[in-house]
Amino acid sequence: MSDFTPRSALVLIDMANDFVYAGGTIADAGGAEYQEAAQAILPGLARLVDAAREAGVLVVYATDAHTEQDSEMAKWPPHAMKGTKEAEIVPELTPRSGDLVIDKTTYSPFVSSDIDERLRARGIERLYITGLHTDCCARHTSGDAFQHGYDLVWVTDALQAFTQEQHEEGLRYFETWYATDAERQFTSVDALVEEWSRQPAVTGD
């Protein structure tokens, strides 16, 4: 029996041009192999987004939109700067009306945005975590969400890092520190799309 809840959100982390395509600061730092890996998760994410909307799961984009004054600029070169093409969501995953689009200036949107208030206002209890990077922004977002009491599910083939090793290390970290029922909380694109397809569409509370 599925434990699907309509009070769920699919969270896409940092799926901006800067992180995915050549010409972006982060993508160029990762190199061609990283760019290929980041782009490889796009078809699965597009399927998830479509399935989420059909099932009534809130689609949330939590994406860097930096200014020169942000604390990250002390660590990293300027990237995904607010108002630039590099900070825009990749065209394969363009937000639609009804989606929640969150600008963030820190690894976790729980630190630099009102995401918690906006999720709670919608009655959200479960977050499906996807995007970039498994061992950094997805990790920090997961940690904050866990400590805020959200139920977490990680879609393992809809996450990626600079290297496959870092991706796998990130998944192990989730299991060690945040998972309470790992068999349920780690899933794949195919399994989740199939699960959501069995649910009646949800249009509201």
DSSP string, 128-172: EEEEE-TTTHHHHHHHHHHHTT-EEEEEEEEEE-SSHHHHHHHHH
Distance CA 130, CA 156 (A): 8
Percent of the chain with pLDDT over 90: 93
User: Is residue 117 in a domain?
Assistant: yes
Q: Between helices 164-177 and 137-147, what is the axis angle to 10°?
A: 10
Average model confidence (pLDDT) for the chain? 94
CATH number of domain containing 151: 3.40.50.850
User: Is residue 34 in a domain?
Assistant: yes
If one counts the domains in the chain, the total is: 1
Residue-wise pLDDT tens digits, 18-68: 999 999 999 999 999 999 999 999 999 999 999 999 999 999 999 999 999
User: Is residue 202 in a domain?
Assistant: no
User: Is residue 181 in a domain?
Assistant: yes
User: Is residue 40 in a domain?
Assistant: yes
| Residues linked to residue 129 through DSSP beta bridges, in sequence order | 11, 154
Band of pLDDT at residue 199, cut at 50, 70 and 90 = confident
Query: Sheet holding 151-160: strands in order across?
Result: 100-104, 58-64, 8-13, 126-132, 151-160, 186-187
Is pLDDT of 160 > 60? yes
Name the residue range of residue 186's domain: 8-197
- Mean pLDDT across the stretch 9-20? 98
Contact of 60 with 12, CB cutoff 8 Å = yes
Q: What is the pTM of this model?
A: 0.94
User: Is residue 204 in a domain?
Assistant: no
User: Is residue 1 in a domain?
Assistant: no
Q: Which residues of 141-154 are buried (b: 16+ CB within 10 A; e: fewer)?
A: bbbbbbeeebbbbb
Give the model's pLDDT for residue 200.
Answer: 66
Distance CA 89, CA 20 (A): 10
